[in-house]
């Protein structure tokens, strides 16, 4: 994906080409951009499934998806993606140690404490490598993940780690008591709601942003401007409808609106996948939206499998 993006940028910067060559290059760039969009969507789905497998303690699926992530999405990861990978690696490492230590340690891993301890260690290491003088929204989010992982780990958290966690809580203005193990499910549900609220707010803010900030140059440069008649590969010009005049860096809105409309149409056509909490749990019979009564505070495996089965059986608009 990095190579394709770079080549598309180099092609867009070319000028003085013959018409036939320009047409061929334009078609190649359009095809590459479609491929990039597909890869981005596939990457997002891959990390989502890995995170769900870790939360549901599906070890076999975690191992398979983590190998896929490391092979196909090892570069340019976001903080959220790194946190998911750290959690998956911690889950597998804790399980391996639990199997070597015996049945008692294996039960601790199954309850999530071993995986939680590995996640605490990994996240603390990640935070230590960050710029501690700047408290960004990403660091605050990572500290919140650290607090939940500490609740999972329980008494496996060492005194030094507990001190570090308290320090990060204070830096991020989150110096509140750690959630009790019994309230872990409620904490996760509240975190999911906060994430949804942020996404809704970001969506509203996106609608108010200028069109030129919502469409990257590599997309609109491959289209002809219907207002100033700038051809593919050329910037728009001030002198309308003549194709001449002073070049402007910001394209006309008439060149951008069709792209946004196409994106909106694609979004409507995408399937809405059922999430784990969207279905009734076959084990504890908890209704949609309610958390399971699992002792570990997570969801029952049968509930996640039931949601996946419904998604395969009946695609949803």
Local confidence pLDDT in tens for the 317 residues of the chain: 778 878 888 887 777 778 888 888 888 888 888 887 887 888 888 888 888 888 878 888 888 888 888 887 777 788 888 888 888 888 888 777 666 654 444 444 445 556 677 888 888 887 777 655 556 667 777 888 888 888 877 778 888 888 888 888 877 776 544 444 444 456 556 666 777 777 776 666 555 567 778 888 888 999 998 888 888 888 888 764 554 567 888 888 889 999 988 888 877 765 566 778 888 888 888 888 788 887 766 778 888 888 888 877 654 44
Residue 193 CA to residue 277 CA, distance in Å, equals 13
Question: Does 185 share its domain with 198?
Answer: yes
Q: Is residue 55 part of a domain?
A: yes
Residues whose CB falls within 8 Å of the CB of residue 184, separated by 6 or more in sequence, listed in order: 148, 151, 152, 296, 297, 298
Q: Is residue 63 part of a domain?
A: yes
Question: Does 89 share its domain with 136?
Answer: yes
State pTM to two decimals.
Answer: 0.30
Q: Kindly state the tokens that stand for 269.
A: 């056509």
SS3 237: strand
Question: Does 183 share its domain with 92?
Answer: yes
Question: Does 46 share its domain with 150?
Answer: no
Q: Is residue 94 part of a domain?
A: yes
Burial per residue of 15-41, b for 16 or more beta-carbon CB atoms within 10 angstroms, e otherwise: eeeeeeebeebbeebeebbeeeeeeee
Burial per residue of 111-144, b for 16 or more beta-carbon CB atoms within 10 angstroms, e otherwise: bbbbbbbbbbbbbbebbeeeeeeeeeeebebbbb
Do the Cβ atoms of 230 and 181 come closer than 8 Å? no
Question: Does 146 share its domain with 82?
Answer: yes
Q: Is residue 273 part of a domain?
A: no
Question: Does 94 share its domain with 196?
Answer: yes
Q: Exposed (0-12), middle (13-18) or buried (19+): which is 14, by Cβ within 10 Å?
A: exposed
Total tally of structural domains belonging to the chain: 2
Segments forming the whole domain that contains residue 202 = 77-208
Question: Does 31 share its domain with 139?
Answer: no
Q: Is residue 184 part of a domain?
A: yes
Q: Is residue 239 part of a domain?
A: no
Question: Does 93 share its domain with 135?
Answer: yes
Residue 182 CA to residue 214 CA, distance in Å, equals 43
Q: Is residue 154 part of a domain?
A: yes
Question: Does 69 share its domain with 81?
Answer: no
Domain end marker among 52, 76, 100? 76
Domain end marker among 76, 103, 129? 76
Domain end marker among 60, 76, 92? 76
Question: Does 123 share its domain with 166?
Answer: yes
Question: Does 112 share its domain with 61?
Answer: no
């Amino acid at each position: 994906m990095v190579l394709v993006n770079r080549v598309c940028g180099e092609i867009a910067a070319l000028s003085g080409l013959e018409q036939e060559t320009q047409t061929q290059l334009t078609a190649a760039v359009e095809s590459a951009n479609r491929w990039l969009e597909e890869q981005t969507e596939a990457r997002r789905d891959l990390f989502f499934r890995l995170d769900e497998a870790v939360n549901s303690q599906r070890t076999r699926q975690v191992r398979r998806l983590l190998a896929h992530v490391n092979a196909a999405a090892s570069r340019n990861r976001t903080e959220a993606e790194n946190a998911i990978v750290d959690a998956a690696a911690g889950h597998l490492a804790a399980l391996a140690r639990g199997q070597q230590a015996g049945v008692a340690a294996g039960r601790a891993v199954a309850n999530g404490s071993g995986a939680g301890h590995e996640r605490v260690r990994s996240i603390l290491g990640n935070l230590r490598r960050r710029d501690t003088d700047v408290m960004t929204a990403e660091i605050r989010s990572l500290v919140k993940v650290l607090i939940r992982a500490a609740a999972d780990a329980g008494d496996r958290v060492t005194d030094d780690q507990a001190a570090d966690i308290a320090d990060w809580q204070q830096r991020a203005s989150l110096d509140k008591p750690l959630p009790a193990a019994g309230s872990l499910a409620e904490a996760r549900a509240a975190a999911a709601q906060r994430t949804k609220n942020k996404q809704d707010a970001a969506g509203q803010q996106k609608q108010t942003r200028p069109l030129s900030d919502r469409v990257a140059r590599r997309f609109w440069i491959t289209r002809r401007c219907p207002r100033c008649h700038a051809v593919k590969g050329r910037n728009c010009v001030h002198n309308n409808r003549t194709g001449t005049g002073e070049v402007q860096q910001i394209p006309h809105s008439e060149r951008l609106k069709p792209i946004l409309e196409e994106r909106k149409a694609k979004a409507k056509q995408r399937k809405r996948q059922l999430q784990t909490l969207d279905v009734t749990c076959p084990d504890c019979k908890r209704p949609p939206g309610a958390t399971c009564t699992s002792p570990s505070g997570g969801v029952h495996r049968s509930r996640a499998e039931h949601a996946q089965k419904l998604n395969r059986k009946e695609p949803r608009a």
